[in-house]
Structure 1
Amino acid sequence: MSIEIKAPTFPESVADGTVATWHKQPGEACSADDLIVDIETDKVVLEVVAPQDGVIKEILKGEGDTVLSDEVIAVFEAGAAASAAAPTAEAASTEAGDSDKVGPAARKLIDENNLDANQIPGTGKNGGITKEDVLNFMKSGAPAAAAPAATKAAAPAPVAVNVAPGERVEKRVPMTRLRATIAKRLVEAQQTAAMLTTYNEVNMKPVMDLRKQYKELFEKTHNGTRLGFMSFFVKAVTEALKRFPAVNASIDGNDMVYHGYQDIGVAVSTDRGLMVPVLRDTDGMGLSDIEATIADFGKRGRDGKLGLNDMQGGTFTITNGGTFGSLMSTPILNPPQTAILGMHKIQDRPMAVNGEVVILPMMYLALSYDHRMIDGKEAVQFLVTVKSLLEDPARILLDV
């Protein structure tokens, strides 16, 4: 029985998608729920799985092709046994013989970057070269093929060579849809918002001492969930947002939209780009709930399994450049939100305390905000509130 494999149903905010990677090739056996293809949209990578046991009979949309919501991308033969793959959009050119099967998306990358297909290990059916194989080959720093000579000489066996000193090598890699969308949104944020940034610093010793004291007990009590710093920041920000509603608002045309809830986005860095999954109703979440949800976001982000629903909405964003060693930065707004908090590296510094110099673990905080919506006074007071709550974390629990 033949079954049509369709692209996922995209939400209204997503016009179309791109076939990113075929994980199964025609004739290759699939079990029910096996991942067969990734569809990349402007916001997230969606997975399409096998509807039941069988094989891919025909691929209608190759890697790099644009697909619409619910468009048929392949034909699946339910219950069929694995067989040799027939030529399809992913089966390919035979420039180097039958053993060198290069898909159209892979061929395009090879041609654009002047690569030698013979040097690229193929992981597709019968050693076929996929787009992902080419991208991995380029990431490894492999050399480009030499420019073709006027007369074609006998090609020597392919060998691995190092780039000669002084050689100026360039690689051209097309932007993914996600990366292009991120770039577009960041540029729009700077062009449309009256963005300013205010800074402060926070003494992290009280939070660090509390975490050290209860870390093991917290992990045992909450089924292995680890107590990190982000949950303290989320709770401090949530309380500060309640006190300064304009920081929790958004701009919609000429309207200012005040949100009576706190949905906080937490920036997660992945190989595909920066993603911002959202913690919903953080006022009702405990520290363990926040830490467990963030850990799940991070794992699914790295595995490419964050869904559209995970990243839609959000009234405020927190980004932590400190995990990469950043001492200070200016975060960019995440439209239509009007503010974003940047965390940074914790660093011991000499501080004056009661007339004495004390070494304390300090962190710079940066709040970027849209001056069209938020006055400087509110922005500063909001950041001071976050600082005060973190330097006396008992106030977070006591709501004072």
Structure 2
Amino acid sequence: MTDIRVPTLGESVTEATVATWFKKAGDAVAVDEMLCELETDKVTVEVPATAAGVLAEIVAKEGDTVGVDALLATIDEKAGAARPAKAEKPAAKAEEATPGKAAPEGAESAPANESSIEIAVPALGESVTEATVSTWFKQVGDAVVQDEMLCELETDKVSVEVPSPASGTLEEIFAADGATVEAGGKLGRIRGGAGGSAAPQKARPVAAEKAAEPATARADVEDAPSAKKLMAEKGIEPGQLAGTGRDGRIMKEDVLRAMAAPAPSVSSEPAAPAIPRAPVPAEDAAREERVKMTRLRQTIARRLKEAQNTAAMLTTYNEVDMTGVMGLRNEYKDLFEKKHGVKLGFMSFFTKACCHALKEVPEVNAEIDGTEVVYKNFVHMGIAVGTPTGLVVPVVRDADQMSFAAIEKKINELGIRARDGKLSMADMQGGTFTISNGGVYGSLMSSPILNP
């Protein structure tokens, strides 16, 4: 027997709710096939099968709360080995899904399953459950080699490049440019060898059938338990929400997002736009241009406005005599660049000054957790960077232990990666303090908004 247990759920997350089981006791499962979906306060986690066999027992039912490493189910590997004819079922399903297709049953679908490789959405980072397909670099029918970049995904925080898992031909694209996909979802399919093109033709009618029956399929979808509880508490009807979970399942994040959105009109009159605009003269409207915001910019706008509404923010201005710093920089900047291969800017001085100040006033480098104050005996300095796609804040870790040269090199490296969209989730997590140099935009003074 193989135990299926609750995986690590992320930093500070100790329990989850079993949202949905995709298999029943007695069902055959394959390695890495998705068994169930867990829901935490922050993310939705899919639990794959760690072995092939038969799902012998489900220990944690839908709606149960489970802790990290708790037992979810058991798989009987020996029972799976005793079932011989499992390979025939996909062919039968393909035949049912495409009525009117005659002859080529197993002869066509079995090789397609063996030689076709699906392109999956990679892990998107902690608390990130979905992404938008930004750009496909290949088209259906193009030849690809392993690790060649196929497409680029855009999340609320970073851009993620998706490499080809194998060499072959791009057989089908499931998620076109602009489509929203979930972590672990499917982007497309690659045929690894010289195969025919019958498989994609079969798959498309199935997808079309699924797309054509949202109303009936929705009735059979079980929404996440925490979402149902929250909807009941807030008096929200499921029909008012668009679910982002599997098969349109409403997740807790969907309810929270709807609660944060501007309230629509509740009168009996036709619904008005969520954000009404003043009438625009026709001659002006003809000269307007509407450009959809990227997910990153939408998230920046939403989160900064939330912070402005909920956080206690204060701005105070103090003048500093920079004469000494200017003289020191002018005297050593050429020698510094020659020795270290990076220019001596002002940000290293600002970073060092902040690190010294945070040592002297540790409360500013602390955070409140419940009824406790958590003092940080280190400084992970966030450096705000303006990029063409929006403002990001990569983190210089242990900045208080770094030299001027090390700080300048790290800031330069993070700045380049930010502008190229190459920052990872880890690059932007864990900051204890943030600085931003508004002077590069010609600002005399700036009032920042906290980034939660």
TM-score normalised to structure 1 length? 0.60
Out of 173, 188, 191, the position equivalent to 2:306 is: 188
| Amino acid corresponding to residue 429 of structure 2 in structure 1 | Q
Stretch deviating more after TM superposition (211-220 or 70-79): 70-79
Residue 185 of structure 1 aligns to a residue whose secondary structure is helix
- 1:283 equivalent in structure 2: 400
Please tell me whether the aligned partners of residues 124 and 160 of structure 2 are also in contact (alpha carbons under 8 angstroms). no
- 2:326 matched residue in structure 1: 208
Which residue of 306, 317, 332 maps to 1:199? 317
Matched, 1:26 2:144: no
Residue 175 of structure 1 pairs with residue 289 of structure 2? no
* Mean Cα deviation higher: 6-15 or 29-38: 29-38
2:347 to 218, 230, 240: 230
CA shift at 1:247, angstroms? 1.0
- Give structure 1 stretches of 5+ with no counterpart: 90-164, 336-400
Residue 51 of structure 1, CA deviation: 2.8
**Quick check: 2:129–2:182 contact (8 Å CA) kept in 1?**
yes
**Contact kept in structure 2, 1:317 and 1:334, CA below 8 Å:** no
**What's 1:251 paired with?**
368
Match of 2:29 in 1: none
Give 1:14-163 correspondences, 5 Å limit. 14-78=128-192
* Greater Cα offset, 23-32 or 204-213: 23-32
1:121 is matched with: none
Distance 1:299 1:12, change over 3 A: closer
Conservation of the 8 A alpha-carbon contact between 1:39 and 1:45 = yes
**One-letter code of the match for 1:171?**
E
Partner Cα separation in structure 1 for residue 130 and residue 176 of structure 2: 15
Distance of 2:304 and 2:169 partners within structure 1: 42
1:188 & 1:281 partners in 2: Cα distance? Answer: 29
In the TM superposition, residue 167 of structure 1 has moved relative to its aligned partner by 8.0
SS at match of 1:17: strand
Secondary structure at the counterpart of residue 73 of structure 1 = strand
SS at match of 2:436: strand
Are the counterparts in 2 of residues 6 and 70 from structure 1 also a CA contact under 8 Å? yes
Amino acid in the other structure paired with 2:290: R
Q: Partners in 2 of 1:249 and 1:21 — Cα distance?
A: 41
Instruction: Report the AA paired with residue 289 of structure 2.
Output: K
- Following superposition of structure 1 onto structure 2, how do residues 255-334 of structure 1 map, counting pairs within 5 Å? 255-334=372-451
Q: Please tell me the root mean square deviation across aligned C-alpha atoms, in Å.
A: 2.5
Q: Whole-Å Cα distance in 1 between the matches of residues 130 and 357 of structure 2?
A: 39
Partners of 2:366 and 2:135 in 1: how far apart?
39
CA deviation after TM superposition for structure 1 residue 80, in Å: 6.0
Alignment match, 1:140:
none
Secondary structure of 1:39's counterpart equals: strand
3-state SS of 1:203 partner: coil
The residue type paired with residue 298 of structure 2 is A
Secondary structure of 1:195's aligned partner: coil
**1:68-117 alpha-carbon deviations (Å, 9 max, x no partner):** 11211111233669x9xx8999xxxxxxxxxxxxxxxxxxxxxxxxxxxx
Structure 2 CA distance for partners of 1:214 and 1:55, relative to 1, 3 Å: farther
8 Å contact from structure 2 (residues 152, 159) kept in 1: yes
Once residues 132 and 358 of structure 2 are traced to their aligned partners in structure 1, the CA distance between those partners, rounded to angstroms, is 38
Counterparts in 2 of 1:78 and 1:288: CA distance versus 1, 3 Å: farther
Gaps of 5+ in 2: 1-114, 205-282
Mapped to 2, the partners of 1:225 and 1:192 lie a distance apart of 40
Percent identity, please: 55
Kept after mapping to 1: 8 A contact 2:166/2:190: no
SS in 1 for 2:349: helix
State how many pairs are aligned.
257
Equivalent position amino acid for 1:41 in 2:
T
Residues 1:21 and 1:212: Cα distance change in structure 2 (over 3 Å)? same
Distance 1:328 1:248, change over 3 A: same
How far 1:168 sits from its partner (Å)? 5.4
Q: Does structure 1 conserve the Cα–Cα contact (< 8 Å) formed by 2:117 and 2:166?
A: no
